[in-house]
Amino acid sequence: MKESSNSTILVPGASAPAAINTIKSLRMVKYPVRIIASDTNPISAGFFMSDANEVLPEIDSKLYVKRLFEIITKHKIGILMPSSGYDIYQYSENKENLLKLGTLPVVSDKKTMEICRDKMQTFNHLSKKFDLPYTTLDNKKTRGFPIIAKPRYGKGSKGIVKLDNEDDLRYVQLKNDNLIFQEYLPGTEYTIDVLSDLEGDPIIAVPRIRLETKAGISTMGKIVKDESISETCKSIAKYLKIRGPCCIQMKESKEGNLKVVEVNPRLGGGTIFTTLAGANFPAMILDMVNGKKLEIPKISEVTIIRYFEEIVVENGKVMKYDLNLV
């Protein structure tokens, strides 16, 4: 098969799990793909798993967009994968100019992205139709302890704390004044990977129980077949007008009711879990962009345990790494 530009893919955030999961998933594609990894860190693990790599400036740098366009032109990038919680916002912001270059950023529109990024907007928008934990910006309007405090624009689990009393509340506000306060949910936590087509119509939703997490990333999970959860999450993606992938966090209240905690409009840090269960989202995105007919895959209820892998590099070259471990 002759390689097309739509088989040359930029995978951003190459030092983080979502991008590494994306690269692993793309390596399972049965036809030729060319993977270009990018990151601000020149020794990112994903760099050594890809066909080529490029260093980008920090996302808030004035040089970021210029450098991104240089990389796209240099490598004739056809698809921008949404594997970084930072880069996706620039992709959406610059979507029109990217399309003029023949490059498709698989991201949602700016309005949708902003709703998902701002956790207060997420609550205000979704709570009109779906069950969410009570959320407020006003610490005087919380509904008793314990509660959760988290950054309004946070990413992953960074800065999230459980508050048990007024002393905890006063202490956490000394450190951060841009917080939201949320009902504490003590029950089972779920991540649901959802894939929508490029028009915003949901295709598939794959739930899993988060059996173990570290730094907000699932390190052990069990895929579950739950039609009710899947249909709810597809409805959420449709309501938000998500294009491409998103990962939805849900958790049970003390009464056992499952509530939507947040929506990330991108591939998640546990993308490989869904791939190994039978639904390879990065491969499905590639097929979708290339106009191939998608078949809804069958999902296996598997448990997946993560562990560290080592890449040995000497003089800039990989000396030891076995991608066949996945």
Query: For the segment 231-286, what is each residue's pLDDT rounded down to a tens digit?
Result: 999 999 999 999 999 999 999 999 999 999 999 999 999 999 999 999 999 999 99
Q: Which domain holds residue 256?
A: 112-117+186-305
Decide if 122 is inside a domain. no
**Which pLDDT score, from 0 to 100, does residue 205 have?**
98
Residues 6+ positions from 259 with CB-CB distance below 8 Å:
131, 132, 133, 183, 185, 250, 251, 252, 253
Q: How many CB atoms neighbour CB 153 within 10 A?
A: 12
What is the model's pLDDT at position 318?
Answer: 79
* pLDDT at residue 3 greater than cutoff 50: no
% of the chain exceeding 70 in pLDDT:
94
Give the CATH number, domain containing residue 84: 3.40.50.20
Half-sphere exposure of 163 (CA within 13 A, CB side): 25
What tens digit of pLDDT does each residue of 175-218 get? 777 899 999 999 999 999 999 999 999 999 999 998 887 776 77
Same domain, 267 and 203: yes
249 close to 66: Cβ distance less than 8 angstroms: no
Do 99 and 14 lie in one domain? The reply is yes
Cβ neighbors of 164 (< 8 A, separation 6 or more) are 145, 146
Domain boundary at 88, 107, 126, which?
Answer: 107
Work out how many domains the chain is built from and give that number: 3
Angle formed by the axes of helices 227-240 and 110-117, to 10°? 120
Residue 204 belongs to a domain: yes
Residue 197 and residue 214 in one domain: yes
- The answer to whether residue 315 sits within a structural domain is no
